[in-house]
Amino acid sequence: MKEVEVKILEINKEEIIKKLLELGAEKVFEGEIISHLYDFEDKRINQGRKLLRLRKKGEKNLITFKTSISKEQSKIEEEIETEIGDFEVVDDILKKIGLLIRRKAEKKRTSYKIANVLFEIDEPKEDVPAFLEIEAQSEEEIFEYVEKLGIEKERVKNWSGGEVLAHYGQLK
C-alpha cells in the first residue's frame, strides 16, 4: 500500500480537534503507542531508505516494512503492514535473526478520520511539542485539508518521526 503523509509541528491540539470535528471527523483511536525500529549492525535496512518497525498500538501489535519512494512535497512510502500476536515474541525473533533495536519511541496518539484521510495528533514522551500527521491517498487530498484546517503551507513538513525528533534534539 502506498502511504502519503505530512507533518505539521507545534500545533494547538484543542484547536485542531475542534476544526476536525467541525469538518465531520470521527475519532478512531486514542491511546499509547510503543515503537521499536530495527536494523542490522551494518545499518543495511536504513541505508536502503527502508524501515522495519514493531509497534504496540493500544491492544494491537503490528509489524511494518516501509520503503521510501519520494520526499518532495510529502513523504511517500510503500508500506507493508500486518497485525501480529505477541509483541515480545516477535521482538525476540527479530533479535535472534541478528536485528538490533535502533530506536525505541513512546507517544500518545489521538486519531481522527474523514473519508480516507487520517489525522493523527502525536504527543511524544520525549521533550517534543504535539504535532499533526495527515495521511491520505494523494498529496492533493492532504493539501486540501491543510487549507481547510487553516494551516499555512510553509508549516507542512515531509519529515519522518525520526526527523521530528532530530529537529528537537531528541534523536538518540
Q: Three-class SS string for 42-79? A: CCHHHHCCEEEEEEEECCEEEEEEEEEEEECCCEEEEE
Whether the pLDDT of residue 147 is over 90: the answer is: yes
In CATH terms, is domain 2-167 a member of 2.40.320.10?
A: yes
List pLDDT tens digits, range 115-135: 999 999 999 988 899 999 999
Q: Which helix (H) or strand (E) holds 82?
A: strand 75-84
List pLDDT tens digits, range 4-52: 999 999 999 999 999 999 999 999 999 999 999 999 999 999 998 999 9
Question: Tell me, what's the pLDDT at 77?
Answer: 96
The whole-model pTM stands at 0.93
> Quick check: 156 and 10 in contact, CB under 8 A?
no
Question: Tell me, what's the pLDDT at 172?
Answer: 64
Q: Looking at residues 96-100, what average pLDDT do you find?
A: 98
Q: What is the mean pLDDT of the chain?
A: 95
Question: Tell me, what's the pLDDT at 170?
Answer: 86
> Quick check: 37 and 102 in contact, CB under 8 A?
yes
Question: Tell me, what's the pLDDT at 81?
Answer: 97
Burial tier of 10 (Cβ tally within 10 Å: 0-12, 13-18, 19+): exposed
In whole angstroms, give the CA distance from residue 166 to residue 172: 8
For residue 129, give the DSSP letter.
-
Question: Tell me, what's the pLDDT at 53?
Answer: 98
Burial tier of 64 (Cβ tally within 10 Å: 0-12, 13-18, 19+): middle
Beta bridge partners of 113: 26, 118
| C-alpha dihedral (69, 152, 134, 126), degrees to nearest 10 | 90
